[in-house]
Structure 1
Amino acid sequence: MNAATEVDTAVDPAVTAVASSSTPPTNAELEDTVKRITSHKGVEGVIVMDRRGAVLKSTLSDDQTRAHAGVLADLTARAAQIAQLLNPEDELTYLRMYSKQREVMISPDKDYLLVVMQNSSPSGSGS
């Protein structure tokens, strides 16, 4: 896959941003954000959770959500620790991971994590 294809098929980080706030998002805000993100081609799932991995909203099955939420919250915490080790004045603002079939994007906020999983193939077919 070339860089142009990655840009064309990827959800823009600005799209996955959740407004910074110490108050929990309302159900309407969650629904609007998730609906906006899932409308992008190739998006397979969205999880909104707190920093400990407690799920507020997910478009995945219950089994998939349980399997992913805690691991992704832990991965984000570890990546944030690495960012701090590299520069104590820095912080993790976005985490993106590619595999052969999927791309996982995590947008951490002060209190919440927004996770978007999408197909990483240019056609969006997964094969």
Structure 2
Amino acid sequence: MVSEVIEDMLKRMQSHPGVIGSVIINKEGQVIKSTLDNTTSLQYASLATRVCDSSVDALRNIDPTNDLTFLRVRSKKT
């Protein structure tokens, strides 16, 4: 059931104009699910992990009890 929910969510995201792909990673930066090739997925996972770590640090500086649970990245180019 959870797998179906994740698959539906990925399909909805992929249907938005301009979306090239989706990568789901865990806290350790490991790719769990991706619609991209393996090399690209690993590259994005590495970059996303650094962004998440920086975001968590910034968030905790504001409020130590807060935690980052979801991050969406969007750009003007794609």
Question: What's the TM-score bracket when you normalise by the shorter of the two chains?
Answer: 0.7 to 0.9
Q: 2: distance between equivalents of 1:78 and 1:63? A: 23
Question: Unaligned 5+ residue runs, structure 1?
Answer: 1-24, 102-118, 120-127
Which structure has more relative contact order (CA 8 Å, sep 6+)? It is 1
Q: 2: distance between equivalents of 1:43 and 1:99? A: 10
Question: Unaligned 5+ residue runs, structure 2?
Answer: none
Identity over aligned residues, as a percent? 29
Pairing partner for 1:51 from 2, 10, 27: 27
TM-score norm. by structure 2 comes to: 0.77
Q: Compute the displacement of 1:35 (Å).
A: 0.5
Q: Higher strand fraction: Structure 1 or Structure 2?
A: 1
In structure 2, the residue matched to 1:64 is: 40
Q: Find the residue that maps to 1:89 and give its secondary structure.
A: coil
RMSD: 2.3
Q: Find the residue that maps to 2:51 and give its secondary structure.
A: helix
Question: What number of residue pairs does the alignment pair up?
Answer: 78
Q: Find the residue that maps to 1:69 and give its secondary structure.
A: helix
> Is 1:90 aligned with 2:55?
no
Q: Measured at CA, do residues 44 and 29 of structure 1 come closer, stay the same or move farther in structure 2, by a change above 3 Å?
A: same
